[in-house]
Structure 1
Amino acid sequence: MTTIVAFHAHADDPVVLSGGTLARAAADGHRVVVVVATDGMDASVPTPRWRELEASAAILGVRRVVHLGYADSGHGPELYPDPPGRQRFARADTEEAAHRLAAVLHEERADLLLGYDAGGGYGHRDHVKVHEVARRAARLTGTRLLEATMPRDTVVRLVRIIRALRIPFLYDGAALGRLYSPASAITHRFDVRRFAGRKQAALAAHVSDVRGGGRLAAVLRVLVWLPAPVFGLVAGREWYVEVSSAGSPRPSLQVSARSGRSRRRR
Structure 2
Amino acid sequence: MATLVSFHAHPDDESIACGGVMRKASDEGHRVVLVVATRGEVGEVEDGFLAEGEQLWERRVVETESAAAILGAHRVEFLGYVDSGMMGTPTNDAPGSFWTAEVEDAAEKLAAILREERADVLTCYDDNGQYGHPDHIMVHRVGMRAAELAGTPRVYQSTVNRDHIRRGMAELAAAEGEAAASPDIDVDSFGKPESEITAAVDVTKYVDVKRAAMRAHASQISEQSFFLTMDDESFRSAFGIEWFIRAGQGPGITETDLFAGL
Query: Could you say which TM-score interval applies, normalised by the shorter chain?
Result: 0.7 to 0.9
The structure 2 residue matched to 1:235, chosen from 236, 239, 251, is: 239
For 2:140, the equivalent position in structure 1 comes to: 131
Specify the SS of the correspondent of 2:249: coil
Specify the SS of the correspondent of 1:72: coil
Verify the 8 A CA contact 2:5 2:119 in the aligned structure 1. yes
The structure 2 residue matched to 1:53, chosen from 58, 64, 68, is: 64
User: Equivalent residues in 2 for 1:65-214 (5 A)?
Assistant: 65-75=76-86, 77-80=88-91, 87-143=96-152, 144-158=154-168, 161=172, 164=178, 166=180, 169-173=183-187, 175-176=188-189, 179-211=190-222
Structure 1 unmatched runs, 5+ = 212-216, 244-248, 262-266
For 2:73, the equivalent position in structure 1 comes to: 62
CA distance in 2, matches of 1:33, 1:181: 26
Percent identity reads 39
For the pair 1:7 / 2:17, whether they are aligned, the reply is no
For 1:41, the equivalent position in structure 2 comes to: 41
Specify the SS of the correspondent of 1:100: helix
CA distance in 2, matches of 1:18, 1:171: 21
For 1:29, the equivalent position in structure 2 comes to: 29
Verify the 8 A CA contact 2:86 2:92 in the aligned structure 1. no
For 1:224, the equivalent position in structure 2 comes to: 228
CA distance in 2, matches of 1:93, 1:6: 21
Q: CA deviation at 1:64?
A: 0.8
For the pair 1:17 / 2:28, whether they are aligned, the reply is no
Structure 2 unmatched runs, 5+ = 46-54
Q: CA deviation at 1:169?
A: 4.1
Q: CA deviation at 1:29?
A: 0.7
TM-score, reference length from structure 2: 0.84
For 2:48, the equivalent position in structure 1 comes to: none
What amino acid is aligned across from residue 249 of structure 2 in structure 1? R
What amino acid is aligned across from residue 96 of structure 1 in structure 2? D
What amino acid is aligned across from residue 236 of structure 1 in structure 2? G
Relative to 1, partners in 2 of residues 1:187 and 1:232: Cα closer, same or farther, differing over 3 Å? same
TM-score, reference length from structure 1: 0.83
Specify the SS of the correspondent of 2:156: strand
The two structures, once aligned, show a CA RMSD in angstroms of 2.6
Which stretch shows the higher mean deviation, 98-107 or 39-48? 39-48
Relative to 1, partners in 2 of residues 1:198 and 1:165: Cα closer, same or farther, differing over 3 Å? farther
Which structure has the higher relative contact order (CA within 8 Å, separation 6+)?
2
CA distance in 2, matches of 1:168, 1:101: 39
Specify the SS of the correspondent of 2:250: coil
For 1:264, the equivalent position in structure 2 comes to: none
